[in-house]
């Protein structure tokens, strides 16, 4: 996609990850803020982005044909919650559905791994947000083999091909959704290990942020390399034409928020969104009702 085709606030197409061997996570700069020098330079764009999203959501909702699914994946403290909060801040809550996926419950483990996502997909006209998603099935589950062992799968189905099979199943499921009118926008908030350290320290030192700190997050930090390997492989395998991944530099929160807003705007602008048209006979009926309404107030004034 060239800059000329870009529909967003700026050209965020370079955040897109290619499928296959050409993708290398290590090549992606976590502190990049291009094309903005600093937060001040981006100020107007941040405000404009939220306003444009609100207008697009209004049409999406009224038209009631397409739905949009934003999938947010990241290491702890990369800013998932803040990004979602910011990007959704101007939207009509009735048209949004945010779901946070945590460790699966017993009921969830009694089903196939896409089940809990499927029952939480956005309806037509809505924007759904997955804060973590079925991608955890090829991330934390891959990094910690005992989690896979606890998944109640028939042993004959758990082979060395399981990750490849899960990528295939995810790609097929996402293509199916795409063909049914769900536009999928996938973002990986790419934070550095050093920036995560700073944010954890901040959570420990600032009493208002203490609640955000979980000792379990430290354990996952010890597996940083394994996670990066799992992310690298997952992104390379599931960045498809119909649902590509975007690797969003996340060391600067203001930039990742702006970039995610932009990716959503770009996706929405590409849909043929329009308010439903009222045909001639319907217009006539509306005119009759309008006259009656006007007449009612005149009647009252008398
Ligand atoms: P925050 O910490 O900002 O509240 P979070 O998404 O990190 O958000 P937590 O409750 O801290 O939420 O962690 C949820 C945990 O659940 C994560 O470690 C995640 O990897 C794990 N998880 C999510 N999906 C699965 C899954 N399918 N199988 C196993 N673990 C999962
Ligand atoms: Mg957490």
Distance 47 CA to ligand 1 centre (A): 30
HSE-CB for 106 with a 13 A CA cutoff = 0
How far apart (Å, rounded) are the C-alpha atoms in residues 91 and 162?
A: 39
User: What residues are in contact with ligand 1 under a 6 Å CB criterion?
Assistant: 76, 81, 100-104, 132, 136-137, 140-141, 147, 214
| Local confidence band at 155 (pLDDT 50, 70, 90 cut-offs) | very high
Q: Distance from the CA of 268 to the center of ligand 1, in angstroms?
A: 28
Among all bound ligands, the one having the nearest atom to the CA of 140 is 1
pLDDT, residue 2, reads 45
Length of the chain: 302
What mean pLDDT is predicted for residues 132-160?
Answer: 97
User: What percentage of the chain reaches a pLDDT higher than 70?
Assistant: 97
The neighbouring-strand residues paired with 74 are 189
Cα of 119 to ligand 1 centre, how many Å? Answer: 18
148 close to 189: Cβ distance less than 8 angstroms: no
pLDDT digits (tens, 9 = 90+) for 56-78: 999 999 999 999 999 999 999 99
pLDDT band at 3 (very low <50, low <70, confident <90, very high): very low
**What pLDDT does 134 receive?**
98
Helices (H), the chain: 39-63, 80-87, 106-109, 115-118, 140-143, 145-149, 162-179, 193-205, 215-221, 224-238, 253-270, 280-301
pLDDT exceeds 70 at position 1: no
CB 189 within 8 A of CB 250: yes
For the chain, domain boundaries:
3-301
pLDDT at 29: 98
> Among 124, 126, 86, which Cα is nearest to 262's?
86
For 4-60, what is each residue's pLDDT tens digit?
Answer: 467 888 888 899 999 999 999 999 999 999 999 999 999 889 889 999 999 999 999
Nearest CA to ligand 1 atom 28: 103
CA distance 138 to 63: 35
The predicted model gives 201-226 an average pLDDT of 93
Q: How far apart are CA 53 and CA 44, in angstroms?
A: 14
Instruction: Tell me what pLDDT residue 211 has.
Output: 92
The residue whose C-alpha atom lies closest to atom 3 belonging to ligand 1 is: 81
Q: Which atom of ligand 1 is nearest to the CA of 80?
A: 3
Domain 3-301 belongs in CATH node 3.30.565.10: no
- The pLDDT of residue 300 is 67
- For residues 300 and 194, the model is more confident at 194
Provide the percentage of residues in the chain whose pLDDT is more than 90. 89
- How many angstroms separate the CA atoms of 235 and 23, rounded? 8
Residue 182 Cα to ligand 1 middle (Å): 25
Q: Which of 108, 136, 191 has most ligand 1 atoms within 8 Å of its beta carbon, as the pocket-test mutant?
A: 136
Cα–Cα distance, 79 to 6 (Å, whole number):
25
- Average pLDDT of the chain? 94
| Nearest residue (CA) to ligand 1, atom 29 | 103
pTM: 0.94
């Amino acid at each position: 996609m060239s800059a000329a085709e870009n529909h967003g606030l700026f050209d965020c197409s370079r955040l897109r990850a290619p499928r296959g061997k050409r993708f290398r996570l290590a090549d992606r700069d976590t502190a990049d803020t291009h094309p903005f020098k600093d937060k001040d330079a981006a100020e107007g764009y941040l405000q404009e982005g939220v306003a444009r999203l609100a207008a697009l959501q209004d049409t999406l909702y009224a038209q009631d044909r397409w739905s949009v699914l934003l999938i947010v994946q990241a290491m702890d403290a990369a800013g998932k919650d803040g990004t979602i909060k910011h990007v959704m801040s101007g939207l009509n809550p009735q048209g949004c559905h945010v779901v946070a996926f945590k460790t699966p419950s017993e009921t969830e483990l009694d089903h196939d791994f896409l089940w809990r996502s499927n029952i939480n997909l956005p309806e037509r006209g809505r924007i759904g947000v997955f804060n973590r998603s079925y991608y955890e099935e090829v991330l934390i589950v891959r990094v910690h083999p005992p989690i896979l062992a606890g998944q109640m799968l028939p042993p004959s189905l758990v082979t060395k091909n399981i990750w490849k099979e899960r990528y295939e199943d995810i790609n097929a499921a996402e293509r199916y959704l795409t063909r049914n009118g769900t536009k999928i926008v996938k973002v990986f908030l790419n934070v550095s290990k050093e920036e995560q350290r700073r944010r954890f320290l901040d959570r420990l030192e600032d009493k208002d942020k203490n609640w955000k700190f979980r000792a379990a997050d430290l354990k996952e930090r010890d597996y940083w390399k394994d996670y990066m390997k799992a992310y690298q492989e997952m992104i390379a395998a599931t960045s498809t034409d119909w649902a590509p991944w975007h690797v969003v530099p996340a060391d600067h929160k203001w930039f990742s928020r702006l970039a995610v807003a932009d990716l959503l705007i770009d996706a929405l602008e590409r849909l043929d969104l329009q308010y439903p048209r009222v045909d001639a006979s319907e217009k006539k009926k509306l005119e009759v009702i309008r006259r009656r309404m006007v007449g009612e107030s005149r009647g009252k004034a008398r």
